[in-house]
Amino acid sequence: MIGERAKKIKMVILDADGVLTDGRIVYDANGVESKFFNVKDGLGIKLLQRAGIGVAIISGRESQVVTLRAAELGINLVYQRALDKVGPYLDILNITGLAHNEIAYMGDDLPDIPLMRMVGLAVAPADALEYLLPFAHLVTFNRGGWGAVRELCDLILREQGLWDSVCGKYFA
For position 86, which CATH number holds? 3.40.50.1000
The parent domain of residue 122 ranges over 2-101+112-163
pLDDT computed for residue 74 by the predictor? 96
Residue 172 within a domain: no
Mean pLDDT throughout 153-167? Answer: 94
> Does some domain include residue 75?
yes
**Hey, is 148 helix, strand or coil?**
helix
Helix axes 148-159, 163-171, angle to 10 degrees: 110
36 in any annotated domain: yes
In a domain, 168, yes or no: no
For 165, residues 6+ apart whose C-beta sits below 8 A from its C-beta are: 51
- Residue 44: inside a domain, yes or no? yes
Select the more confidently predicted residue: 34 or 143: 143
- Decide if 107 is inside a domain: no
Structural domain contains residue 171: no
Asked whether residue 47 is assigned to any structural domain, the reply reads yes
pTM: 0.95
Q: Which residues pair with 111 in a beta bridge?
A: none
CA atoms of 97 and 44, how far apart (whole Å): 24
Each residue's pLDDT tens digit, 43-98: 999 999 999 999 999 999 999 999 999 999 999 999 999 989 999 999 999 999 99
pLDDT band at 137 (very low <50, low <70, confident <90, very high): very high
Exposure string of 41-50, with b = 16+ CB inside 10 Å and e = fewer, is bbebbbbbbe
Provide the number of structural domains found in the chain.
Answer: 1
Contact present, 65 and 33 (Cβ < 8 Å): yes
